[in-house]
Chains A and B, each alone.
Chain A
């Protein structure tokens, strides 16, 4: 039977949500899925260990999440196996002679369907696209010792302040743009995020990141993060093509903008035209009532 190796990630001793997505997608390809958990401190040693495990186990495919860690790790492992990565996939299917995968290209303005026939096939999956099923949690991960050369060493991780959720991982994102007028006004978006009870993050357009109002880590778009939350609320963002590149795969998009012709309304499922400073606080009140 075709065997697939799923590479999982952990943080603070717990498997990350994206890892369940990886297992779910791997199970679409075969019933024989083994899992290995990657250690992030010695990336080189980790890549060597995964590649050796992949070779020894005769796996047909190795599946990663296209997270910051996965994007770094997958090509290293692939190169050791003499192949490239079919990266950042939004769909995967087994095919008689290989795998048929789909990935967004040209900043999400097109999708490319690719047939991958390498031996093995190395895949990375876009986070938040594959919905994890309950069976995903029943996988038993394996631990393999890492004895790497350790040339590259993670010296320190400067964690974001406790309680802040990364935009790449949030289920709800409230993003603000130049329409916010000044950095202090992001407080209205933070209040709205807070009303969602810890599952929402505040994102930003490049215009406000370049202006120094928000950190680059919060930037959504072509030169920022690619996100696929359940709900994306764009506030005072015009909807430039490079911004859309990062969020057009969100499940539901809401736009709040005073210009009824703003391009963001073309991709939004629901739009409210008007002054964000009146609309957002009202929305915060309503959400508070729901989560109250």
Chain B
């Protein structure tokens, strides 16, 4: 099994968002960066598939700044074989540009599976996986929470509103991972040591301008000051009155 996993370096989900002086970007001072949590499911799945097949390769690909080498090392410590950093100072605001650069890197080789996360927790774009699939002309199943592979056929489950869709697809394919697919492993000390010696290729790339231009990054509208209605069951009457008369939702 030859598997590629695309991973993104993102601010940790606990990050306090401070807007930079340009009014358009995140002030990165003091921000802790991690591997996008959904990409951890993708890396884990790739490792399990390779282990099951008994042979193969798991390559991780990341588009990002020089510091994203650290994110790649985390995946190598989990057990991936090699990494490629498509190095750019800034990740393009237009996801199509990111997809183009990633697709160009993946194009040369013949992968059995190319795995992505369902979405990146910073930009919430949920699209780089299917964009790359289209650019490569490969079948794609998004947001999978269960996967069975038998020879050249896969069956995946994905949550939709009101149920679960069971989808059949041929390999090679592009899949995007949702929570529930597996429990990602923590890198063991041995893995962390081994990761230092694994190949990590750095390739500078030049993202195009794209068609999405960030005009402003703003704090979300403050919710109007809430109130504590009261304590205990005795406050329920007043709560219901407020919901009817003030909020008008009942």
Contact (A113, B216) CB under 8 Å given A79-B96, A79-B131, A169-B161: yes
- Chain B nearest CB, measured from A14 CB (Å): 13
Interface centre among B141, B166, B212, B250 (most CB of A within 10 A): B212
Contact A44 B139 (CB under 8 A): yes
B224 within 8 A of A: yes
**B245: Cβ under 8 A from any A Cβ:** no
Is B22 an interface residue when CB atoms closer than 8 A count as contact?
A: no
Closest residue on chain B to residue A266 by CB atoms: B226
**Interface residue B99 (Cβ < 8 Å from any Cβ of A):** yes
* Given A85-B125, A105-B122, A267-B226, CB of A223 within 8 Å of CB of B37: yes
The docked-state distance in angstroms from the alpha carbon of A166 to that of B161 is 6
Interface string of A74-105 (1 = CB under 8 A from B): 11101110111111100000000000100111
Residue A159 lies at the interface, judged by CB distance under 8 Å to chain B: yes
B124 with A87: CB separation less than 8 A: yes
Instruction: Return chain B residues, CB-CB under 8 Å to A75.
Output: 126-127, 129-131, 134
Q: Is the CB of B232 within 8 A of A279?
A: yes
* B122 (CB) vs chain A CBs: closest residue: A106
Which residues of chain A (142-179) have a CB below 8 Å from chain B?
Answer: 151-160, 164-166, 168-169, 172
A110 to B99, CA, bound (A): 24
Query: How far apart are the CA atoms of A115 and B37 in the complex, in Å?
Result: 28
**The residue from B127, B135, B180, B212 contacting A118, defined by CB atoms under 8 A apart:** B212
Q: Does B143 contact A (CB under 8 A)?
A: yes
Whether B126 pairs with A88 at a CB distance below 8 angstroms is yes
Residues 215-250 (chain B) with a chain A CB within 8 angstroms: 215-221, 223-224, 226-233, 235-237, 239-240, 242-244, 247, 249-250
**Restricting to B147-165, which residues have a CB under 8 Å from any CB of A?**
155, 158-165
Given contacts A110-B19, A216-B159, A270-B229, contact A155 B167 (CB under 8 A): yes
- B168→A153 contact, CB < 8 A: yes
Inter-chain contacts of B232 with A (CB < 8 A): 272-275, 278-279
**Residue pair B169, A151 in contact (C-beta under 8 Å):** yes
Does B114 belong to the interface (CB within 8 Å)?
A: no
Q: Which of B93, B131, B139, B250 contacts A287 (CB 8 A)?
A: B250
**CB neighbours of B143 from chain A (8 A):** 68, 71-72
Q: Cβ of B17: which chain A residues have Cβ within 8 Å of it?
A: 106, 109-110
Report which of B215, B239, B240, B243 forms a contact with A115, defined as CB distance below 8 A: B215
Within 8 Å by CB of A84, from B210, B214, B216, B231, lies: B210
Which residues of A lie under 8 Å from residue B170 when comparing CB positions?
151
Q: What residues of A have a CB within 8 angstroms of the CB of B244 in the complex? A: 290
Chain A residues within an 8 Å CB radius of B71: none
Quick one: closest B residue to A77, CB to CB? B134
Counting CB contacts under 8 A, is A132 at the interface?
A: no
The answer to whether B220 touches A253, judged by C-beta atoms less than 8 angstroms apart, is no
Contact (Cβ within 8 A) B228 A115: no
Q: Which residue of B lies closest to A164 (CB)?
A: B162
Residues A256-279 near B (CB distance < 8 A): 260, 265-275, 278-279
B13 within 8 A of A: yes
Residues from chain B with a CB closer than 8 A to the CB of A251 are 247, 249
Closest to B162 in A: A166
User: Is A159 a contact of B162 with CB atoms below 8 Å?
Assistant: yes
Q: Which residues of A sit under 8 angstroms from B160, Cβ to Cβ?
A: 68-69, 157
Kindly state whether residue A30 has any CB partner on chain B within 8 Å: no
Q: Which of B124, B125, B142, B163 has the most chain A CB atoms closer than 10 A to its own CB? A: B124
Per the bound structure, the CA–CA distance linking A234 and B107 in Å amounts to 47
B110 at the interface (CB under 8 A from A): no
A27-70 vs B, Cβ < 8 Å mask (1 yes, 0 no):
00000000000000000100000000000000000000001110
Other-chain residue from B14, B127, B130 in contact with A241 (beta carbon distance below 8 A): B14
A254 to B139, CA, bound (A): 44
Given A87-B125, A279-B232, A290-B250: A76 and B163 interface contact (C-beta under 8 Å)? no
Indicate if A214 sits at the interface (CB-CB under 8 A). Answer: no
Q: Which one, A68, A156, A172, A272, contacts B229 given CB within 8 A? A: A272
Complex: how many Å from CA A223 to CA B223? 23
Once the chains bind, are B215 and A273 in contact (CB under 8 Å)? no
- Give min CB distance, A204 to chain B, whole Å: 13
Query: Judging by beta carbons under 8 Å apart, are A114 and B215 in contact?
Result: yes
| Bound CA–CA A80/B236 (angstroms) | 54
B4-44 CB contacts (< 8 Å) to partner A: 11, 13-17, 19, 26, 37-38
The CA-CA distance from A117 to B209 in the complex, in Å, is: 11
The interface residues of chain A lying within 8 Å CB-to-CB of B15 are 106, 109
A76 touches B37 (CB 8 A): no
Pairs across A and B, CB under 8 Å, 7 listed: A72-B143, A105-B217, A109-B219, A254-B243, A272-B231, A272-B235, A273-B232
A interface, CB within 8 angstroms of B: 11, 44, 67-69, 71-72, 74-76, 78-80, 82-88, 100, 103-119, 151-160, 164-166, 168-169, 172, 216-217, 219, 222-224, 230-231, 241-242, 245, 248, 251-254, 260, 265-275, 278-279, 281-283, 286-287, 290
